[in-house]
Amino acid sequence: MMKKNKKYNLLSLLCVFQFVWLQSLSTLNSIPISSRDLSFSGGGGAMITNEISMNPASIKLFTKSLSLNTQILPADISLFSIEALFPDDKKIYFTSISNLNWGNLKDGITNYSFSANDIKLTGGLKYKISHISSFGVSSSYILSKIQSFTAQSILFTIGIQSELKKNHSGLGLVIRNLGFQFDSFNSLKEKPSFQIQVSGYIKPKYLSAITFSDIIIEKNVINKILITGIEFYTKNNLILRFSNSGIFFKKYQLNSVALGLQLNKNNWILDIASRNLISIGIVNSISIKKQF
């Protein structure tokens, strides 16, 4: 009987971690993975990018690329990801593998130490419908492991992106976490909670920058997430980013601020980002990308 109780204590602790991070049952498929997305607080879903982002339809790339992403999160949690993109005429194929390591955890009741990891394998396609609109889709296999217990799921993300008024504004829509769990921790069956993300951006006429806003709505979650930010372009191949996010239900409550910079040098791109989650801690990230 003690062994069974210990198993449920471990599972309960990990569920708490996931709820605090993003109120999602599909953590690794919902959080920002690249430094760019982290500096955008998970927003900017309508903005064009040359990497895998929160919106698979927003990718625009003419050469192959390979990226490495690392993050250090609160409570000794770490994330590592490798991604590759392959453009082909109107299509862009992409794939990635990500590992979210929850570190060394301890059961608060029994003091039993254990480890936990989430691994995600992703493959997807972006297709250019017209000169102003694109469609993207990706599928992910996620393996969650707590000590010797495992859970597995298949999740899908669908996105559209459109550029308006000669690329001075744009709109985006993403639906993620569509899918199912076909393996579970013992008998604790979880159903993925899908998210809808609506995005928009504007290029100011007399400012070398882009401002953006996103709203994220999640099934079974009353609170809505509002993200706003700006990306500045300098004359020396340096890009500066700032964003914030908050939870909105009856009143607005700020829950994070983020900063980032991108340096371009020949075919190399270096991204650095830091996001303060305020009540939880700080996330730091570095991404390195090579274009071929």
Q: 50 with 37: CB under 8 angstroms? A: no
Q: Could you tell me the sign of the dihedral formed by the alpha carbons of 141, 214, 198, 170, in that order? A: negative
Q: Is the pLDDT of residue 169 over 90?
A: yes
226-285 per-position pLDDT tens digit: 999 999 999 888 999 999 999 988 888 999 999 999 999 889 999 999 999 998 899 999
Q: Of 118, 167, 138, 163, whose CA–CA distance to 54 is shortest?
A: 138
Number of domains in the chain: 1
152 vs 215, residue with greater confidence: 215
Q: What residues make up the domain containing 14?
A: 2-291
pTM (two decimals): 0.86
- What CATH number did the domain enclosing 11 receive? 2.40.160.60
User: What does the block give as tokens for 263?
Assistant: 């340096």
Statement: residue 16 has pLDDT above 60: no
Phi and psi based region of residue 108 (left: phi greater than 0; alpha: psi -120 to 50; beta: remaining) = alpha
Give backbone dihedrals phi and psi of 75, rounded to 5 degrees, phi first: 60, 35
